[in-house]
Structure 1
């Protein structure tokens, strides 16, 4: 067991330093962010300006605005002595070896003997930065290479030196994974370590596709984006986001540093990139790079004229069918064997990437899995290079590498001689050169549903869109599997059926969750739209009986979950929107990934929450206020009205708690891979303590006087042009429910009273043409319509 870090100091408030400090604060640490003193005036002006700028970034670097209170600003002249009392010092100053060495000399003279010191350098030698320092210092020193943005990218490369104490490395692995939510890869002290070394090679392949192979910017981005399991930004949008000046610097540095790399010339800076940087076209931060927004249109660079032009049709042949295949391995295989320009580009690029990755072992890493994890966690690839190799077929790729004349390292030939057919085995082992197949160390505090699903006996019940899985120890999981993780009719019916099952079987409790990208994005709007269309065809049926029955079913379900006699825990992550938010709110106990984006967004599609969301928010208002007096409750009521009326979604799980969408007892896990495990443990803990469901306390509401105050808020917004006529109408319905309907004075009501108000104010909206327009627009564009 290691002691977690509680305090840290980050030296350098630049782009990375400020963000690293912010993420440490997200994790609960008190962080001192220091930079150079200003030459005149307030000596904290430099660091304050840098941090203020960082706070304006999108997406935001902090979980909540309050998190900034844990970042204490300072300067090297007045506040360097603070380092004597911190657990961890991270250096993130300019990439200049002499400056870093001078700073380390000063750090050594200030910190305690037990302080861990690390550098966030992305290219300089870790050992050289610590050169000249004492043995004790070097034992507590290593590289901690965060990826930008540190809050959102999972990879943390740890780069120990020959002198780094193994206990320090183990502590950093443990803390990084558990408290910072990182995927840890141990890298060697080589130029740009693992991910950036491979990533820069791949980026240069994309650039050459434009400058040497005749592919357009849009074609390259199409062939290097989601089609092949990489971020939609592809090559050139990603370059714009990173900054073309940064790309130029890294390329120049790599070319100078990797003198023994046979593929060193790949890192020569293309003339096109150099000219763009020289002319100030630095990418997103400069408003133009490879792309530029002109009159609302995204245009791309013509590399010959340097003008920005409208996108031309792709000349890649018929790849639409490939793009629609849900299985990535199948997409990769189809594209690899494609006869047109698309296949030609992909084969050339992927063979070069696989050959380069293989030849960097053991230079940058000893194991293929290290490279795969680095690319998945650092660059957002769904599959790493060697996983792609397996997907395409080991022998197929090896044969084509030979045909292409690409260098093949001896260890790959050794694999072939051993008769192996891939880098990974179904039993969880991975190939390690010189060691054959080695079992991958499985974390004991993670649950992966692929492992559960592999056992047929673990599936206790299922339909086409959900399943009940046995997690062991008397705990079951309701696994949402609907398209896009919507709250479909089959998901609702299945959960009602599972509740009956849980009632009669000897299990301790249940987790509701899944292992896909989102917890639940809300009601299935496509199903609602079809029901409305079918019922509108019958002129004698305008009551929307099916919708009413579904709504009653949902309300019955959420109440049953909340007051169930066994613990039910929501394992929330990603987006939990609308009905998905209400499903999470129905669970009295929640484990949430830190990156949870939750909210009641129904007004954006012309509806109001009606699955218990407004009822629970009314209860939250009463619980937050110090008393039931209108003066105490009204500020919280106004906050809820504004939050739901503007369809606000939390920026994090922590903000979800502050907004009232998650209970204050929510357990937040920084590492999403631990979410299901933590939820299971919560069920067991609650059961062992002797579980009792929440009490059925009355809910205080404020009646018509408070409703008038909320309607005035909507009126002012409408008069200011911030909301439409229909938005105001919806807001008035929202106010009506939250304040208790026609009650003329404050009163205490029960759950069913407010659920009835939800239902009565939801159903008429389904008939509204404006609501139907909003639903249709959302289905078509994935964007809200403000009609």
Structure 2
């Protein structure tokens, strides 16, 4: 791989997008200078200062941890352009006006290092035309770099080369974006709105057209175009509100102005009702009123017939719902097309027209079908891209149905399907094991061979691609122990198999067996599976034992859980936990006991047992008590409570980290643990980490024998905090009981302050407290309520 790195970056434009790009660069430990126009009054960089302050308040947070904001410096174009000289990457993210960008490029050109990369975050303007605003010497260093909003969370970045962009620059930038920022890259052609917005915005316009044609309500359409067809919960009209109706109109206007010969050009305009909303300043979520609005707790939706807002509903006709639940895609599409119900006609029409549009424009907008499908998955949150959906449903049958509708004048455009649709893809498909179809080259394109992609052992795949196969060593109903001989045959991998990776008896026993086998035959063990990492203990098993009154069984169950944690901690070979997504309750405790953790940035980790009236009892409280003693030994006060106090509040309030980086701050991970921005690299890095520990002569840790605990004084201090919270109405009486139990476990039990105990003592304390709470009727109510509703009960 190239050694290219970005040591310092600049973002030009401190609007919503620019500021959040700066935040994500700072997340990746890249210092950023954020520029904007000088303020007319006060601090000349005050506009940028306000934008940086706003980053702290946004939810979901663009910052992976609060301290990242310190790496964003405020600057303005009048005073600080000389700071560009030290920047390896300069991203322009100002308003989508060509003349403004031209003017800015002229101003910054004298200050740009000849080795810097200059990129525009335009969402649709011509990259070749933008490059003309730069001196000729800088043009090979210029490209398009289109992030999607919000930049931290949206996986897609479109890279767009000009006719003069240095190819090696694109390779370096792609590799860096993939590994350092965690992005999925699509190399887009320099056409209006590139790939994702071109297809995605047309899809929204098609939905709007057919909504009006068939007289459907916006709320009904959102129920039809959400998760039930593999689209995000925000569906279509809520997505428009979130994006901003004015922003959507601007993107549509770009298509209208730049694509006059497009067969769908007549649809590149916003409907009259949407233009009227924009005219009234009802721009969607940012103005708290758009297609939807919130009145108290009620969600209202615009009704065109009433010319007013009404209560939103989400009624899908039962016959249409039955069709959508058909698991056979070919049958599903055939039934939608044949149905006379307006909702079914609507669904067939929006799929037909997106298939038609994507096929017609494939050669113009993308190198291959895989790029289109990934763009829609990563940029718009579709479960499948248009070509995947088409191929899944039977290529030839769908092609013939689309052609018949075109010929009958039912499609949005009379443009014929391109000839390639009826060529070799009918038999082979657009996606094959060899690659994805390129209409412009009439060939199948393999995946990128850039070395960075060798770090993705299990990359995201499109339909037709084959996954790497592992070799199973042993498995039971709960876990699978396996290896990847082609990567490292000496490191074993254990994966949890249960739904949501809950930790029932099969998993607990299986992990102990996996550790024993790894100790006997391998040099290391990685605990890895796709997200979520683990949702904690199997509450259904717990509830069944409670109902039977078998609390001895439950105590043995908790004891076995603790044994599994200890097996992970004291294994003869290094155990590395590779974590992504949710790692809650027992899942958090398991990762805390590993020798090392490799954590995806988007990981949400916490000890959440308080939510069901329990405390961590798989060794979580014990681990924090040990760390408190170790921390105390290194400080002048020698008081473990200094460390326990924040941990106690974290457990009592069931706090979950909002990133892998914040998991460090909360103590669930250590500073030495790796944070990986691209979750597809997680297994690769974990295997390398385990190999490195093994090669360095890994030896299991000694169990601490003299753990100094906070004891009764620590418990009393925690109770003082709880009393204030209870008096203030922040917690209930049972919350108090549960939190006191957590305090008791963290402080080593109801014993003399400063007592020295061993690890088994701490495990016994938390196990007994846990079982006592299981006997409490209010805890039992919480467990049952969560099982029945999926929501916590605060009783």
TM-score of Structure 1 vs Structure 2, range by shorter chain? over 0.9
| Pair 624,341 (structure 1): closer, same or farther in 2 beyond 3 Å | farther
Q: Distance in 1 between matches of 2:570 and 2:338?
A: 56
Is 1:448 equivalent to 2:458 in the alignment?
yes
Contact 1:92 1:119 in 2 (8 A): yes
Q: Distance in 1 between matches of 2:13 and 2:110?
A: 18
Q: Residue in 1 aligned with 2:781? A: 773
Is 1:500 equivalent to 2:516 in the alignment?
yes
**Counterpart pick for 1:694 among 695, 698, 701:** 701
Q: Distance in 2 between matches of 1:342 and 1:644?
A: 48
Contact 2:52 2:69 in 1 (8 A): no
Q: Residue in 2 aligned with 1:743? A: 751
Provide the secondary structure at the position in 1 that maps to 2:518.
helix
Is 1:574 equivalent to 2:581 in the alignment?
yes
Displacement, 1:621? 2.4
Contact 1:332 1:391 in 2 (8 A): no
| Pair 366,643 (structure 1): closer, same or farther in 2 beyond 3 Å | same
**Counterpart pick for 1:705 among 688, 693, 713:** 713
Q: Distance in 1 between matches of 2:641 and 2:677?
A: 34
Q: Residue in 2 aligned with 1:519? A: 533
Displacement, 1:440? 2.5
Displacement, 1:311? 3.2
Q: Residue in 1 aligned with 2:42? A: 41
Q: Which moved more, 1:363-372 or 1:628-637?
A: 628-637
Displacement, 1:437? 2.8
Displacement, 1:493? 2.4
Q: Residue in 1 aligned with 2:20? A: 19
Count of residue pairs the alignment pairs up: 775
| Pair 607,424 (structure 1): closer, same or farther in 2 beyond 3 Å | same
Q: Residue in 1 aligned with 2:438? A: 432
Aligned pairs (5 A) from 1:109-188:
109-188=110-189
| Pair 463,222 (structure 1): closer, same or farther in 2 beyond 3 Å | farther
**Counterpart pick for 2:545 among 520, 526, 531:** 531
| Pair 328,127 (structure 1): closer, same or farther in 2 beyond 3 Å | farther
**Counterpart pick for 1:466 among 467, 474, 479:** 479
Q: Distance in 2 between matches of 1:364 and 1:736?
A: 63
Q: Which moved more, 1:336-345 or 1:155-164?
A: 336-345
Displacement, 1:469? 2.0
Q: Distance in 2 between matches of 1:402 and 1:360?
A: 16
Displacement, 1:714? 0.7
Q: Distance in 2 between matches of 1:141 and 1:494?
A: 54
- How large is the RMSD of aligned CA atoms in angstroms? 2.2
Q: Residue in 2 aligned with 1:304? A: 305
> Please, which runs of 5 or more residues in structure 2 have no aligned partner?
none
Contact 1:127 1:189 in 2 (8 A): yes
> Please, which runs of 5 or more residues in structure 1 have no aligned partner?
536-541
Q: Deviations over 1:718-774 (max 9, x none)?
A: 111111111111111111111111221213322111111111100121122211222
Q: Distance in 2 between matches of 1:678 and 1:346?
A: 43
Displacement, 1:137? 0.8
| Pair 382,714 (structure 1): closer, same or farther in 2 beyond 3 Å | same
Is 1:615 equivalent to 2:630 in the alignment?
no
| Pair 44,219 (structure 1): closer, same or farther in 2 beyond 3 Å | same
Q: Distance in 1 between matches of 2:179 and 2:467?
A: 27
Displacement, 1:460? 2.1
| Pair 58,379 (structure 1): closer, same or farther in 2 beyond 3 Å | same
Q: Residue in 2 aligned with 1:674? A: 681
Q: Residue in 1 aligned with 2:647? A: 640
Displacement, 1:639? 0.5
Contact 1:228 1:331 in 2 (8 A): no
| Pair 60,455 (structure 1): closer, same or farther in 2 beyond 3 Å | closer
Provide the secondary structure at the position in 2 that maps to 1:681.
helix
Aligned pairs (5 A) from 1:712-751:
712-751=720-759
Q: Deviations over 1:438-497 (max 9, x none)?
A: 433463212229999968771222334432221222222212221122122222222223
Q: Distance in 2 between matches of 1:454 and 1:130?
A: 40
| Pair 330,783 (structure 1): closer, same or farther in 2 beyond 3 Å | farther
Provide the secondary structure at the position in 2 that maps to 1:77.
coil
| Pair 638,332 (structure 1): closer, same or farther in 2 beyond 3 Å | farther
Displacement, 1:700? 2.6
Provide the secondary structure at the position in 2 that maps to 1:386.
helix
Displacement, 1:411? 4.5
Contact 2:509 2:564 in 1 (8 A): no
Displacement, 1:408? 4.2
Displacement, 1:629? 6.0
TM-score by length of 2: 0.93
| Pair 414,726 (structure 1): closer, same or farther in 2 beyond 3 Å | same
| Pair 130,440 (structure 1): closer, same or farther in 2 beyond 3 Å | closer
Q: Distance in 1 between matches of 2:331 and 2:3?
A: 44
**Counterpart pick for 1:557 among 541, 549, 564:** 564
Displacement, 1:331? 9.4
Q: Distance in 2 between matches of 1:754 and 1:338?
A: 66
Displacement, 1:310? 2.1
Displacement, 1:623? 3.6
Provide the secondary structure at the position in 2 that maps to 1:716.
helix
Q: Distance in 2 between matches of 1:410 and 1:476?
A: 49
Q: Distance in 1 between matches of 2:335 and 2:749?
A: 59
| Pair 660,246 (structure 1): closer, same or farther in 2 beyond 3 Å | same
Q: Residue in 2 aligned with 1:367? A: 368
Q: Distance in 2 between matches of 1:225 and 1:415?
A: 33
Provide the secondary structure at the position in 2 that maps to 1:362.
helix
Q: Deviations over 1:404-454 (max 9, x none)?
A: 1154443524524x75341112x3522223343343346321222999996
Is 1:384 equivalent to 2:373 in the alignment?
no
**Counterpart pick for 2:592 among 581, 585, 595:** 585
Q: Which moved more, 1:6-15 or 1:35-44?
A: 35-44
Q: Distance in 2 between matches of 1:155 and 1:341?
A: 34
| Pair 45,313 (structure 1): closer, same or farther in 2 beyond 3 Å | closer
Provide the secondary structure at the position in 1 that maps to 2:112.
coil
Q: Distance in 2 between matches of 1:329 and 1:754?
A: 55
Displacement, 1:561? 0.8
Q: Residue in 2 aligned with 1:198? A: 199
Q: Residue in 2 aligned with 1:684? A: 691
| Pair 608,316 (structure 1): closer, same or farther in 2 beyond 3 Å | same
